[in-house]
Amino acid sequence: MHVMILGAAGMIGRKLVEKIAREPQALGSAVSRLTLVDAFQPSIPEALRSVTTTLTTDLGRTGVAEKLIETRPDMILHLAAIVSGEAETDFDKGYAVNLDGTRALFDAIRQQGLKSPYVPRVIFASSIAVFGTPFPSVIPDEFFTTPLTSYGTQKAITELLLADYSRRGIFDGIGIRLPTICVRPGAPNKAASGFFSNILREPLVGRQAVLPVNDNVRHWFASPRSAVGFFVHAATLDTSKVGPRRNLTMPGLSALVSEEIEALRRVAGDKAVALIKREPDPVIERIVAGWPTQFDASRASALGFRAETDFDQILQVHVEDELGGRIA
């Protein structure tokens, strides 16, 4: 099976590649060819070196999508995106990559299928940012998408395209609406939601972190391990059970910032919590205020998707996967 991962140098992309290296049949079949694509050079685990090609390119550039699909991958995991905060501040860049590049990708698949039969599985990383206020305290699967950010709008439009291209048999698509992934490893990025991870990750290694919102902000979370699990499960999912509504809100954990902090206290003590510095940021507060806080993800759960049920579990995943099981 030829697998292509777009956004392979990103956090979830890297962890997916590591998962395939550890479990060669994680996506349902052995990977005979792996193509890793990103604007930054993706890394290749030694176990996959013989079957892997990397491409450093920008999906938003004219002609890139067509070149990628010329190789006719059997499975495409589309994780490439301009993140929420950057998409909000750089309107042109956000639309060029998140919408125009993705539309070009989808249509390149269509053009290949016109030459000879070609219907790949396409798994798209969407976001709970497709929802915007006003909404109920618990958002059901049937709730309509009304995004209040450019990033959310780009994701919502792509969801419609994915459903339509799947309906027409151009590809077999699944949209994965990710919760905020926490705790994200590595350096802070430009995502507006980055502070949710920062206030845990940095104190756990003795560094100060900034909290730009108040403690009673509630949000929807899952760990990086669960995020990888979502895509792995989607790779082998019987899509006849999904029906025409191809975009699924993933299960997760609804928690307050204060509950994050108390989980940190239980794991690392008061000294770690004292490293959180409160600096209100009106821009971040405005963006976060328009985000949903809790979901009824019954459809995804019934289809076998799983996530954590408390913040102690999320922190434990980070300690095990990123800190070698120990806190400094």
Given 95, 118, 151, 165, the catalytic residue: 151
| Radius of gyration (C-alpha) of the chain in whole angstroms | 19
Residues linked to residue 276 through DSSP beta bridges, in sequence order: 209
Please report, for residues 25, 113, 118, 310, the alpha-carbon distance to residue 272 in angstroms, rounded to integers and kept in the order given.
40, 55, 53, 20
CB count in 10 Å sphere of residue 328: 8
The 180-181 sheet, strands edge to edge: 180-181, 218-222, 253-256
HEC readout, the chain: CEEEEECCCCHHHHHHHHHHHHCCCCCCCCCCEEEEEECCCCCCCHHHHHHEEEEECCCCCCCHHHHHHCCCCCEEEECCCCCHHHHHHCHHHHHHHHHHHHHHHHHHHHHHHHHCCCCCEEEEEEEHHHCCCCCCCCECCCCCCCCCCHHHHHHHHHHHHHHHHHHCCCCEEEEEEECEECCCCCCCCCCCCHHHHHHHHHHHCCCCEEECCCCCCEEEEECHHHHHHHHHHHHHCCHHHCCCCCEEECCCEEEEHHHHHHHHHHHHCHHHHCCEEECCCHHHHHHHHCCCCCECCHHHHHCCCCCCCCHHHHHHHHHHHHCCCCCC
Per the annotation, the verdict on 95 as an active-site residue is no
Q: Which residues are catalytic?
A: 151
